[in-house]
Structure 1
Amino acid sequence: MTINCKGQLIDLTTPKVMGIINLTPDSFYDGGRYKDEHTVLKHVEKMLTEGATFIDIGAYSSRPNAEHISENEELQRILPIISLILKELPNVLLSIDTFRSNIAKQCIEAGACMINDISSGKLDEQMLQTVADLHVPYIMMHMKGTPQNMQQLSQYENLVKEVLFYFSERIAATRALGIVDIIVDPGFGFAKTIAQNYELLSNFEQLKMLELPLLAGVSRKSMIYKTLENSSENALNGTTVLNTIALQKGASILRVHDVKEAVECVKLMQQLN
């Protein structure tokens, strides 16, 4: 099971870790931490040293009820950082967290190698064709609505069945356009209650029937810290527990704020297996 990033075949048979950089002032955990180029670069270097295979950069906060920003503002936040990182670290594999096709196009042209779309193309009708034209890997996530209203849309008759049906339809749409490298993210925390997040994790292995790499993104989310009655700052131990469960159930990529601990999870699981 491989994906092609800028001509480099990445083998996902051994799970990989994706480190997160949020260039937003209001993200739920690290919003506002990376205000200058030096801080961003040092953090990227740290994540790579700790074992991250990918760095996922986002400039639009997708937390519940996040402020909507313009496409122009998103571009102004993200393009200079891509240039900065690739100037200093030319071999880094950058994933771009965006649901906008123009952002995706400009970021890939600037040197990024993958698109991570929370909407699976549903918030921008040009996204799938753009990804097809760019010939890059595509992470598609399950979500209903938008970040502004998704938490009011958490009604399901059968959560796992509906998520699988959603992906079946979106995968067919991407395949029809010739997109080859697809990764599936069930979208923990997106249009789902805490109980639904745990139901989804409990049944995570059922997503393997899609026969695509699976991404788990539970890092420091409210499904952890609200359950433990603490905060995102104190949710690392809980994150490690749920990352371990995700690996046991077939995750190919862990998307995390804390790379070292996630890499250790992968190494220990590999030893166990």
Structure 2
Amino acid sequence: MSKRILLTGASTGIGNATLQRLVAGGHEVVNLDIKDAPDGAAEHHHCDVSDPASIESVVAGLEGTFDGLGNIAGVAGSMGAELVLRVNVYGLRHITETLLAAGKINDGASIVNIASLAGMVWNRHLDRIAELDAAEDFAAGIEVAQSYERGGPAAYTLSKEWVVSYTKHLAGQVLDRGIRVNSVSPGPVHTPLFPYFEQDTGVEQMAWLNERVGRLGTPEDEAEVVTWLLVGDSGWVNGVDLPVDGGLSAGMTVGWANPKDSPASRSRRS
């Protein structure tokens, strides 16, 4: 059965790979992005996810309802803490909740948020996540973003920890409507943002991490799973953060890909 899916950030990277898979499967895709329209989208709306007015204007102009929402738009730590928190946290939340409040998300729909391997220890930082949640609206969120002092890479990690937490909370909030909410946590992926992540992590360290699992991930690797959660046979998968990283998070957890064992880390310690 063909479904109508709304994606953010589908002009490039993981979002575009997801769009192409959905379209190839006969689904209708509407894209919200600050970048140019991608091939294959049934509709494209220019949207600045860092700006609540832009989000509200676009959502108000959307016709019809959606069977799925893929929150894929995001920015890297090197782009600055304020932008990271505005886009990755408050933009994602505002789009999702504005769509829900406007009745644009159908009962039984699927919502998929892009988190990150960087957020894998989210439950160790519930106090920091609570500080982000304390901003009740986008205006308060902007104040939080502007006052964040720990730097862009730290803001990125926190933003993705927040995404995992938000996903789990939202899954319970919309359960009575049969709406499922899950997140996907990529490891390093070859997208236009990869050089920024490489800069934040360090070239040598990033190469070492990719060697642990054999290669760098591709947008298509992530899109396979995002698409499955949006339109595939995944109806009893809910409130889950699913690592899609070639096993890297497993290696980091049990030790065979411990970042502290890398040559770069050992060199820094010595």
TM-score w.r.t. the length of structure 2 is: 0.37
The structure with more helix, counted as a fraction of residues = 2
Normalised by the length of structure 1, the TM-score is 0.37
